[in-house]
Amino acid sequence: MNFDIIVIGTGPGGYVAAIRASQLGKKVAVVEKESLGGICLNWGCIPTKALWKSAQVFNYINHAEDYGIVAGNPKPDFGAIIKRSQG
């Protein structure tokens, strides 16, 4: 097979480069050592932001009365939180 561009690594720069090259009509190959999307998509930025959001929601619930809302006694389900971050 012949390619116009070969992108090595699909981290934040690699996948953007591959998508843009494809949009410009180039035939693109992507080489990735691990999971497609790299560190950012699979372990770093995006899953971390999902964990952060769960913590933020939990904090809001714990301080709901400050907003005039009675929310009861919340408790985190860490298994569900991790599952959401990996989804």
> What pLDDT digit, counting tens, does each position of 8-60 carry?
988 778 888 999 999 999 999 999 888 777 777 777 777 888 898 999 999 99
Residue 11 near residue 40 (C-beta atoms within 8 A): yes
The more confident residue out of 3 and 9 is: 3
10 Å CB burial of residue 10 (0-12, 13-18, 19+) is buried
The model carries a pTM of 0.55
HSE, CB side, 13 Å, CA atoms: give it for residue 10. 17
**Residue whose tokens read 């410009």:** 24
Q: How many angstroms separate the Cα of 87 from the Cα of each of 23, 46, 47, 79, 83?
A: 27, 10, 8, 12, 6
Spell out the domain ranges in the chain.
5-41, 45-86
